[in-house]
Amino acid sequence: MAQVIADRRDVDFVLHEQFQVADLSKHEKFAEFNKKVVDMIVTEARNLSIKEILPTQKVGDEEGCRFEDGKVTVPEPFHRAYDLFVEGEWLAMPEDPEWGGQGMPKTLALAASDYFNGANYAFMMYPGLTHGAAKLVDAFGTDIQKKMFLKNMYTGKWTGTMLLTEPEAGSDVGALTSTAKKNDDGTYSITGNKIFISSGEHDLVENIIHPVLARIEGAPEGTKGISLFLVPKYWVNEDGSMGDFNDVACTGIEEKMGIHGNSTCSLSLGSKGQCKGLLLGEENKGMRAMFLMMNEARLLVGMQGFACASASYLNAVNYARERVQGRSLLEMKNPDAPAVPIIQHPDVRRMLLTMKAYVEGMRSILYYMAYCEDRKETTDDADEQAYWQGLIELLTPVAKGYVTDRSFEMCSLGVQVYGGYGYIKEYPQEQLLRDCRITQIYEGTNGIQAMDLLGRKLGMNKGKPVMDLLGEMNKTIASAKEHGLEELAEKFQKAVNKLGEVGMHMGAAAMSPQVLTAFSYAHPFMEVTGDVVTAWMLLWRAAIAKAKMGKKKKDDVYYGGLIKSAEYYIHTMLPATTGKMIAILNGNAAVVEIEEDAFGGK
């Protein structure tokens, strides 16, 4: 059975019918990206993904990365896939063509990434991190630094990473001990050790550029004293040529649960006193700069988790159509009744429809994030830019935290549909489950995403982004009612109103003496927020589908499926969300009141 990684019909629906991405071509910035060009790019991304990247998924998992004498080799098939990827100029799709990008809308770039990450996201981490690192140079680099690094990174000649984590400074980045000492020539001598560095060392390219967080000697403690540096594996001269090895040594790679094809490295900086870096941006402003990359990386992680869920769902659908097992419930008393495909069994259909609804909702959430970026880019009105930016910042914890939580659950259901075969390595489901798990942890654990939503985003700009989001949801409610989906719209309206009540309650509680209790409900709050946002996306889709039903017979099955996704989710899943919201409002303090010794474990 051939693997499937993304549903082209659904990708096209989100691009053209939900967000009408071709309309962005009316703006000068995206003038060349009309519908024909958009479709061509998605087709090319799909072809590359299926023909060249997907075959590397299983062998990348089985072969993994190898560490020997300080060198890391990636799975052999990755080399051809990487060469084809950079040859097609896919690494910097939305960036300035002057530096090697294609200048396309971010929504379109995300659709291509949907396929690429679904094919093998462990492989895609090499170019993905490179893009994020190059964005830092693009945003904060001097003109000289841009000339030295940017084109080589955006074109994939060199790769990039992100060096934050240390043995004693994981989520608490401010506790890092890496140091920087300014030299007479304006460079800095860097010393420190970093761990869990994805793509930190490999043999895909000749040079790796490391953005590194370190503290300049004498700088304040905590995050206020952190600066950002560009530290190449091999020194880069001002003319862009490569110099000597820069004392960035890989001391080992991790043996992991999943993403075996990506090298997760421990790196020693300056162990021989010969590691130099260039200050990127201002002194002591490193965390502010790094958040630019981290926010992009969090959306990438949301896509990674989602891509696993999407592939797992489509595999499960096709398997359920082909796997014959058991008689129909309607024929259980007939000993001569033939066995039927398991897709005919109600419980299997329940799992598949659950997966379908979440995958459709999550795809729309992620594409919406990119769409907000494009809307921000195509207006000169400062208030409108702030409007879209507020929605982006508010929804980033949902797009990373909520989406990856739900994606892992969907991958687990994908194993369940296969039954015992889902647990066997012969089939792809167990790898997708393993690969998906890390997405709930790295780039800020989902608990941290929840704390960010409650502690920073909820009260941002006096709550305006929250009100703007509720306003967008109300537009969809009106559209759904207009197209004959009154019952779904009214049920969703109640959930939206309840979420508004919960948001007010949580905002007040987080500023009260009950702050610890409030934050013990941060993750449940993120969960119910994500549930309601998912319902919003499904209702939005259903309203579009209802308006188009009967116009093209070939589309009616697909559109009918969108309506059933919304119907199932709003009738069956959303009531549980309401129950969770009631629990949050009740605010039981058991989590903070329980004695530590009562947890046991001794």
Q: What residue type is 277 in one-letter code?
A: G
Phi, psi dihedrals of residue 129, rounded to the nearest 5°: -70, -35
The answer to whether the beta carbons of residues 464 and 544 sit under 8 Å apart is no
Beta strands in 71-224 (DSSP E): 71-73, 159-160, 179-182, 188-198, 208-216
Among 6, 20, 4, which residue's Cα sits nearest to residue 368?
20
Alpha carbon 401 to chain centroid, angstroms: 9
Q: Compute the distance between CA of residue 278 and CA of residue 262 in angstroms, rounded to an integer.
A: 27
Considering only CA atoms, which of 471, 313, 303 is closest in space to residue 399? 303
Cα gap 550→188, rounded to integer Å: 67
- CB proximity list for 467: less than 8 A, separation 6 or greater: none
The torsion angles phi and psi of 482, rounded to 5 degrees, stand at: -60, -30
Nearest in space to 506 (alpha carbons), one of 575, 581, 433: 581
**Strand 208-216 and strand 179-182: pairing?**
parallel
**Residue pointed to by tokens 């690429």:** 116
The dihedral through the CA atoms of 454, 460, 462, 468 has a sign that is: negative
CB distance 7 to 78 below 8 Å = no
Q: How far apart are CA 24 and CA 482, in angstroms?
A: 26
3-state secondary structure 582-599: HHHHHCCCHHHHCCHHHH
Look at phi and psi of residue 600 and say left if phi exceeds 0, alpha if psi is from -120 to 50, else beta. left
Rounded to whole angstroms, the Cα distance separating 107 from 437 reads 25
Q: How far apart are CA 440 and CA 30, in angstroms?
A: 34
Biggest CA pair distance of the chain: 89
| Core vs surface per residue 343-381: b (16+ CB within 10 A) or e | bbbeebeebbbbbbbbbbbbbbbbbbbbbbbbbbbbeee
Tokens of 522: 């941060």
- Token pair 């605010």 is found at 587
What is the C-alpha to C-alpha distance for residues 562 and 357, in angstroms, rounded to an integer?
8
Give the rounded distance of the alpha carbon of 16 from its chain centre: 22
Q: Is the Cα torsion angle 472, 475, 480, 486 positive or negative in sign?
A: positive
Q: Which of 208, 202, 183 is nearest to 276 (CA)?
A: 183
Q: How many angstroms separate the first and last alpha carbons of the chain?
A: 49
Backbone phi, psi, residue 214, to 5°: -155, 165
| Catalytic annotation present for 482 | no
Counted residue by residue, the chain has a size of 602
Given 360, 430, 443, 567, the catalytic residue: 443
Active site residues: 443
